[in-house]
Structure 1
Amino acid sequence: MARPFHLGVAASHRLFDPSLQGLDILRDVIGRWASGLDITRLGSLAACVGAAPAAWRFLRAAWREVYGWVRQFFISSVTIPARDPLNRHVTNWIVANVVQHRSIRSFTARTQQAGAADRAALLKKTRRDVQYLPHFETVWFWHDGCLFVARRPSEGFNASAADPASDGIGGEELIIGCLGRSTEPIRRLIQNCQDYADKHSQYFVIIYSRDRYGMTWQPKSRKPIRRLETVHFDDRLKHELLADIRKYLDPKTKRLYQSRSMPYRRGYLFYGPPGTGKSSLSTALAGEFGLDLYEVRIPSVANDQDLEQMFQEIPPRCLVLLEDIDAIWVNREPLDDEKNGKARSNCTLSGLLNVLDGVGSPEGRIVIMTTNKPDRLDNALIRPGRIDMKVMLGNISPKSAEQMFLRMFMPDADGSLLPPSAEDKNTISEDGKPLIDHGRLRKLASEFAAQIPENTFTPSQLQGFFQLHLDDPIEAASHISSWVERELSGISSDDDIEIVGNGHANGHANGYANGYVNGHAR
């Protein structure tokens, strides 16, 4: 029988005494410990350790067999494909209502995007925080009195992993199972997930685009709803546009169209110089009416067949944005743009007209076309029935410049401008900045607008100026005159870039000066 091994007090002091030969003492201790081991017990322990992996594989195989048998006879299931919007909705619900309430050891890490309120961080190259999202493969949970299991296969290629814009949610196939023979509880769960997604997406606009292979529509980004007050153009035209879209989306209008055998479609043309807010207005309209936005970049579409496939897969109630519609030409001869290396679409005009209002084209969508060159559009494309309203977005006016100044420096909690009040002394500046009341701020806005010439600068140009003076309205008002002088000294060359192209001087300037509403000159 092995003798118990004890290390004496004196030996222990000698072992940790740096003045002695600690190495010899340690060798002596190890020798005594090894001499007291029972070799037979050591062999048994090694045999058990070696058999553990085999036992684990056996248990896992047995569990798979049992679980497969139970799933076949006692569990109903619904499979949701990867990258499907419904997959994301269900996954988000499970993460928020099930996974986050448990002890999680698996996460997906991603770089956190800077918030819209952190305007200073957007102008600096700073290190951003890391956001950790709970991750799961299989999770069991109770809901509405039923036992559910959500499973995502751990093997195979994750489609979202190769997408740099993905946040790791909804990129894997998802299988929802329920104990029982009916899938009705799963249907109710999916409906709850959709309601949850609708509740949380009402403050965002989902923008869809084709994937890198041009095969399917995928969510490109989720942007906070942009207020229409942030898009500056003629107020009367803005109100007419909103009223027209609101009337079209009214269910009564749809029934009226159907009762008279009219195609239920609506098309708009936004035109004007670059930087006047055509795409921004489209995004703002999608948020205003709670619609998803499907982005179609005409120069990137390969041919008419791809364009038709894209439109067939777009849902009926949404907003379709056709950007750079002037890239489609009637004839196929080389033009100045092609000689200069600019993009030109391989789609034909007839192919575009067919997807817009052909025999098999779906109804119920709002189509918005944008262009910088309205004079190059074919009359067949912009006739009534295809383009029901034309909106000119031109250079900014002094009145719009004043509104932009107030919006930059005096937003309240809900984003609307506060009414002027002599008693209202709410501050609008950060710590260390002078306190300015609303009356003083409106006076600064008026002085600012007086320096802006009529129909000269685009809203994007003026926004670029504001980015240099985000936190100091006094500084912005005092520097605007010198900025205008510098811009005017070089603006003629910029105008030449826009005007030259149709062979006639001032062709674009004259075209943009004449807006059209419902096909009639403004």
Structure 2
Amino acid sequence: MALPFWAEAIGRPTLLTPHIHDLGLVKDALERWASGLDITRLGSLAACVSVAPVVWRFLKAAWGESYGWIRQFFMATVTVPARDPLNRTVTSWVMANVVQHRGNRSFTARTRVHSGDVADRAALLKKKRREVQYLPHFETTYFWHGSCLYFVSRSLDSFHASMSDPSYDGFGGEELTIGCLGWSTNPIKRLIQTCQEFADMQTEFFVVIYARDRYGMSWQPKARKPIRRVDTVHFDDGLKQALLADIRTYLDPSTRRLYQSRSMPYRRGYLFFGPPGTGKSSLSTALAGEFGLDLYEVKIPCVASDQDLEQMFHEIPPQCIVLLEDVDAIWTDRDSEKDESLAVARSNCTLSGLLGVLDGVGSAEGRIVIMTTNKPDRLDNALVRPGRVDMKVMLGNISQKSAEQMFIRMFTPDIESSPLVSKDQHETRELHEESLLELNTLRNLAFQFSSQIPEDTFTPSQLQGFFQLHLNNATEAVDNIAHWVERELCRTLLDDISVVSEGKMP
């Protein structure tokens, strides 16, 4: 088949060579192509192209007017504020059940700030490329749920504004409008209930920790941590069981009815005190997971004023744990502390402001308040009296018994994740007997390990730092513990000598 004249001209080998000497061929081909054009048709085409934007603006305006009229008279809507926790719940459900199933083509890419868990611990020490996080986003999406047609709208302007916050993970943060066909909002309420049930299933095995946003304006999810067992926080076992029993009794519905019938305020307060690194915050997180409660974190030195503290407590729901960290920072006597070495982080809040939010006239009931401090002797008696602090829990340095328990926990093999070659009963019995032999060996190693740990000398975090260096070999950990203990004792002694020397200096 013969090629068109322009294709034949352009396709000549002389035009494809890197050195073109005969540009007249190109000029001739263009002139022949232009001479064959119909100017009338070209003008009509240009006219149509120029009219298209006008038609598009007209259709868009007509659709906006029609949609507004339909929405006003034939749709029911519910608006969820941007910073409300329900906003995140609804957005998460829409992302998981609507947007992702449709193969969304609109994403925002950004560098992931908080990387996920890394199986290879050695990789944590390497400098590596940071992960990219792809966040699907939408402005309005329509979907069928049950027998009803819904739409969910959010503002992309507020979405991009939220992107500047490093803690933002793409879920929530923009005002949502949920609507459906009809005059009743009951279908929307059922959809919101479905979203809440979905959120409950997602957080069943996690503890959600809330903190104030960077502007101090509202509570936002700070982290979602896997539930930590209480037995992984090492302190006196008797005190631990008493603490669990006390919280369990307080959360029992019959206890609430008993408090109400006696006209007693339904509150419970605890004080966790001890040296840094003994697990006060870890125990609070573990208790939240144990009893299925959210944790609201309040760092007292970071609170600007009594008014801010009052606003924070006003927005905290009743069924939760409130963690007040470093409560000794409130009543530091600024005039008496002339020595800069005694200076600590201070808060602009006052003692009366804290007491007011704990059990004042407008304070809510049903919460568990946990206060932590490294300096219990600095606390005012008005704060630690019964009714505000109902139980004191000391988390001190680790004992030999707790060190033995920590060793077993660190090196116990994960039986659930180990692959089973066969489900034959004979092989299963052999595997069970082998695991028992390994457990007996592990217990012997744990006893050898703990016998070299001085009683009430090291914090659990110090010992955990040692385990991180020997997680792959229990025998190696036993062989190296004596040298580690000697080195840490020498370091502590040198630090004490340094402090004393500085104290004697003029």
Q: Tell me the TM-score normalised to structure 1 length.
A: 0.86
Quick one: structure 1 residues 191 and 426, their matched pair in 2 at CA, closer, same or farther if it must change by over 3 Å? same
Between 490-499 and 188-197, the greater mean CA deviation after superposition: 490-499
Q: Secondary structure at the match of 2:382?
A: coil
Code of the aligned partner of 2:74: F
Between 298-307 and 261-270, the greater mean CA deviation after superposition: 298-307
Contact 2:158 2:174 in 1 (8 A): no
Q: Secondary structure at the match of 1:442?
A: helix
Contact 1:14 1:22 in 2 (8 A): no
Shift of 1:499: 10
Code of the aligned partner of 1:393: L
Within 2, Cα distance between the matches of 1:79 and 1:11?
A: 62
The answer to whether the aligner puts 1:56 opposite 2:56 as a matched pair is yes
Q: Residue 26 of structure 2 aligns with which residue?
A: 26
Q: Secondary structure at the match of 1:396?
A: coil
Code of the aligned partner of 1:316: P
Describe how 1:480-491 pairs up with structure 2 within 5 A: 480-491=481-492
Q: Secondary structure at the match of 2:481?
A: helix
Quick one: structure 1 residues 113 and 412, their matched pair in 2 at CA, closer, same or farther if it must change by over 3 Å? same
Q: Residue 425 of structure 1 aligns with which residue?
A: 434
Quick one: structure 1 residues 226 and 23, their matched pair in 2 at CA, closer, same or farther if it must change by over 3 Å? farther
Quick one: structure 1 residues 264 and 40, their matched pair in 2 at CA, closer, same or farther if it must change by over 3 Å? same
Within 1, Cα distance between the matches of 2:332 and 2:136?
A: 53
Query: Alpha-carbon deviations, 1:17-58, whole Å to 9, x = none?
Result: 638746443332222212222222222222222222222222
Contact 2:9 2:26 in 1 (8 A): no
Within 1, Cα distance between the matches of 2:291 and 2:351?
A: 30
Q: Residue 459 of structure 1 aligns with which residue?
A: 460
Shift of 1:156: 4.8
Code of the aligned partner of 2:367: R
Q: Residue 92 of structure 2 aligns with which residue?
A: 92
Code of the aligned partner of 1:162: S
Shift of 1:310: 1.7
Shift of 1:381: 1.1
Shift of 1:126: 2.6
The share of aligned pairs that are identical, in percent, is 67
Code of the aligned partner of 1:75: M
Describe how 1:66-145 pairs up with structure 2 within 5 A: 66-110=66-110, 111=112, 113-115=115-117, 117-145=119-147
Shift of 1:5: 5.5
Describe how 1:56-455 pairs up with structure 2 within 5 A: 56-110=56-110, 111=112, 113-115=115-117, 117-156=119-158, 158-329=160-331, 333-335=335-337, 341-412=343-414, 424-425=433-434, 437-455=438-456
User: Aligned-pair RMSD on alpha carbons?
Assistant: 2.8
Contact 1:83 1:159 in 2 (8 A): no
Q: Residue 516 of structure 1 aligns with which residue?
A: none
Quick one: structure 1 residues 237 and 422, their matched pair in 2 at CA, closer, same or farther if it must change by over 3 Å? farther
Within 2, Cα distance between the matches of 1:302 and 1:198?
A: 33
Within 2, Cα distance between the matches of 1:13 and 1:91?
A: 60
Contact 1:330 1:349 in 2 (8 A): no
Within 1, Cα distance between the matches of 2:140 and 2:359?
A: 47
Within 2, Cα distance between the matches of 1:114 and 1:154?
A: 27
Within 2, Cα distance between the matches of 1:129 and 1:89?
A: 25
Code of the aligned partner of 2:434: K
Between 487-496 and 348-357, the greater mean CA deviation after superposition: 487-496
Shift of 1:413: 5.5
Code of the aligned partner of 1:258: Q
Within 1, Cα distance between the matches of 2:84 and 2:32?
A: 67
Within 1, Cα distance between the matches of 2:120 and 2:81?
A: 36
Within 2, Cα distance between the matches of 1:94 and 1:276?
A: 42
Shift of 1:472: 2.4
Within 2, Cα distance between the matches of 1:281 and 1:78?
A: 40
Code of the aligned partner of 1:81: P
Contact 1:147 1:178 in 2 (8 A): yes
Code of the aligned partner of 1:464: G
Query: Alpha-carbon deviations, 1:320-369, whole Å to 9, x = none?
Result: 11111111227553425766553212222222122111222111110101
Greater share of residues in helix: 2
Query: Alpha-carbon deviations, 1:83-111, whole Å to 9, x = none?
Result: 32111111111111111111311123342
Q: Secondary structure at the match of 2:442?
A: helix
Quick one: structure 1 residues 185 and 498, their matched pair in 2 at CA, closer, same or farther if it must change by over 3 Å? farther
Q: Tell me the TM-score normalised to structure 2 length.
A: 0.89
Code of the aligned partner of 1:397: S
Structure 2 gap ranges (5+): 418-429
